[in-house]
Structure 1
Amino acid sequence: MTNALLNTVVEAAHTAGSLIDRRPTTRPQGMDALRAALRTNDDAVTDVLRPALTAALPGSGWNTDEHGEGPMPGGDWWVIDPMGGNLNAVHGMPDWNIGISLVRDGQPVLAVVHAPVAGETFTAIAGAGAWLNGVPVSAATTTDLSAALTGTGQARPSRDPAHARRVGDAVAAMMERALYVRVSVPVSHQLTQVAAGRMDVHWQFDNLRSHIAPVLIARESGATVTDLDGKPWDITSSGYVAAAPGVHAAALDALRTVR
């Protein structure tokens, strides 16, 4: 994996992000208008990214199923989350970003998460570390969960009562042990905060393809990333905990009753 390819991906993400960042925001009045606004943003970003990335890596596949999960075919695949936190962007809030990962034969090898409003671009190459705006980042050195900033969020829209209760029970369980629990989207925002050492723990009961880029960034920063049973994370894991190494075991233990 080359830095030249990473630079091409970063440039494409910046181009797409500036397009969205300049758009006026008007809060939609109903669900139809909201869905239309979300599609418009996703399409605008995809229209910039797809030609740039597929040209940079001829023969590569393309995947924008941000809620997809499970194994992927062999070969090179660009996995895109065009607008992480799209709902925030549509409502004029700053917490949104563009996520790009390259998966090679089922393994993530490159990641970019670009947050235009914050002016932050997180990058990673497998085995070579993680960076924020070109400066290396590392996970926090926190060793006490009672002093830890933790979080989760809604990986995909769901009104399933059992799922809602599970998430609520997990938040309550973590609130009993951690200093603070943040429940927000996008997932990629929290994971990059773990990578930067600003947050200590992020957990999810879903492991979607849109999470691949920020999970790789967190892992390359030195965060411990496992599934909910403590086994090493991969793209087929059913869920995960990404945490500062010193609090990862305690975070897993806090969630033991709701795994």
Structure 2
Amino acid sequence: MSESLVLGVLGGMGPAATVEFLAKLQAYTPAKGDQDHIRVIMDLNPKVPDRNVPGSQAGAVLAEMAGALQGAGAQVLAIPCNTAHAYADLVQRASGLPLIDLIETGANAARDLGARRVGVLGTKGALRLYREYLAAQAMGLVQLAPDRQDAFMATIYKIKAGDLGSDVRAEMASYAADLIANGAEAVVAGCTEAPLVLSAADVRAPFIDPGDLLARRCVAVCLGQEPIPALPVG
């Protein structure tokens, strides 16, 4: 296999979701031996401040991580965390490297399904990002009611604490059902923890896992099968 681009991964948000992303990168690479796989330089940094806390300085930490990945040899970046994409431009400016955008990937998948109203299971920060990307393509966002959004976040923190049990799985499936009941024609896992306990079999509508699609895109970009994303202008 010809030389591939070196992928830099800003990970650890959370660690289990990052490990799952790395496993998918390996699984989706058409390799006959070790040397055919993509070189990945990653920073699995669970010490990144909570992206859901205003003023947490997460952006500064992510920018530092991105610069270090560039210095180590990364040529293109990925972040397997939806909420962290609020700092996508900062990450790219700090590193000078293009980012394979997770939010864009999820929104485009919903567009390709022909959905007009898209339910998103995500943090408040991720919901803001998805609303913008979906609106740009004439799609509407369906989100949980405030009390259910609070319950969803509590479930996410359970998953981050290592609880992948049946109760948590039932909770996550119920949030997806709420979105569908509210008119969602497709459901996006807008938090990378959600697919750890939720699959297409649990959802009565098309289910989009942007993290899975991101892994596929990373392979395609690094192998030259998809164009390298453009850097932001300005």
> Which of the two has greater strand per residue?
1
TM-score (norm 2): 0.30
> Which of the two has greater helix per residue?
2
TM-score (norm 1): 0.28
